[in-house]
Amino acid sequence: MPPVIFAHRGSSGTYAEHTRAAYLQALADGADGVECDVHLSRDGHLVCIHDTTLDRTTNGSGDVADRTLAELRTLDVSAWKGAAVPPAFGGTGDQFLTLADLLALLGGAGRPVRLAIELKHPSPFGLRLEDALIAFLMDEGWDPESSMLGTVEISFMSFNPDSMRQLAESAPSHMLCQLVADVEPQEVRDALRFGSLAEGALIGVLQRALKEGEELIDGQEVGIAGPGVEYVRDHPERVRRWIQEGMRVRVWTVNTEEDALFLAGLGVQEMTSDYPARIRLALDGN
């Protein structure tokens, strides 16, 4: 079986991440599935965005969690990318996508599609998002046994082992993907803002999360291991062992032919990419 390819935040190398255009492009690129990060709006809607704040990917600023869906809908989520969106993909000026919007888009694909939902937390401690997500999916008609919602197969991902443990109460373990990444102090400094937590305490929290995440994978409590490609390069024997022990491995973010071939050689079954067509071509040509 060739590796399953997920479009990371949609085909986000081509169009702005988490936009209708990026997801439509992912379907056109022949991706088997798409990945989506979710946050809660102030009024409890599940919205598709990576960052905790609006600043990088919208023309707004401040925290996503401080805005209602109606307020978020007034923002432009695609202009920052500078990629002209053709009319067939909705033209420029994309609005915030909700998870409900994305499910409707994928349901209209005319073929089965996989959806990998990544739960993002403003801090490693909040757990409200899991409840909201499961309640929403149940309402939409999601079947917890098959994890299907119509023609969409839903898996769940998080760096936070507590998320996995909580989701395990509702979702089948083979649809749970524990994300893992080596903890790089400089990246922590550059990329994360965790309120009043001191940097040392934050690194401790992340190191514990990494250890617990690896334990969930080794104990086979989740069915999918989700390392970053750098983690795989650092720990190829560990990843090979996971595969030999029956674990599915879904690697992010695989954007080069070299990485795709390296991972395929290890036996990795799933890859997430900003450029799914490029990765498909690399794998098909070999």
Q: Which residues of this chain interact with ligand G3P, rule CB under 6 A?
A: 8, 35, 37, 50, 118, 157, 179, 226, 252, 272
Report the residue number, 87 or 251, with the smaller CB distance to Ca ion: 251
CB of 36 to Ca ion, least distance (A): 8
Q: 157: closest CA among 104, 119, 196?
A: 119
Report the residue number, 118 or 153, with the smaller CB distance to Ca ion: 118
Report the residue number, 70 or 249, with the smaller CB distance to ligand G3P: 249
227 binds, among Ca ion, ligand G3P, none (CB under 5 to 8 A by kind): none
Report the residue number, 29 or 118, with the smaller CB distance to Ca ion: 118
179 binds, among ligand G3P, Ca ion, none (CB under 5 to 8 A by kind): ligand G3P
Tokens of 103: 């499910």
67 binds, among Ca ion, ligand G3P, none (CB under 5 to 8 A by kind): none
Residue 180 half-sphere exposure toward CB, CA atoms < 13 A:
27
Report the residue number, 91 or 268, with the smaller CB distance to ligand G3P: 268
Percent composition of the chain: helix, strand, coil (DSSP 3-state, to 5): 40, 20, 40
Q: Which residues bind Ca ion (CB under 5 A)?
A: 37, 118
CB of 154 to Ca ion, least distance (A): 15
- What are the two backbone dihedrals, phi and then psi, of residue 103, each rounded to the nearest 5 degrees? -60, -40
Contacts of 85 (CB under 8 A, 6+ apart): 15, 19, 21, 78, 91, 92, 94
Report the residue number whose CB is nearest to ligand G3P: 252
CB of 88 to ligand G3P, least distance (A): 27
Name the CA radius of gyration of the chain, rounded: 18
CB of 87 to ligand G3P, least distance (A): 29
Q: 99: closest CA among 22, 53, 36?
A: 36
Q: Could you give the CA distance from residue 203 to residue 91 in angstroms, rounded to a whole number? A: 42
Q: Could you give the CA distance from residue 200 to residue 182 in angstroms, rounded to a whole number? A: 16
Catalytic residues, which ones? 8, 50
272 binds, among Ca ion, ligand G3P, none (CB under 5 to 8 A by kind): ligand G3P
**Straight-line distance from the first to the last Cα atom of the chain, in angstroms, rounded to the nearest whole number:** 13
259 binds, among ligand G3P, Ca ion, none (CB under 5 to 8 A by kind): none
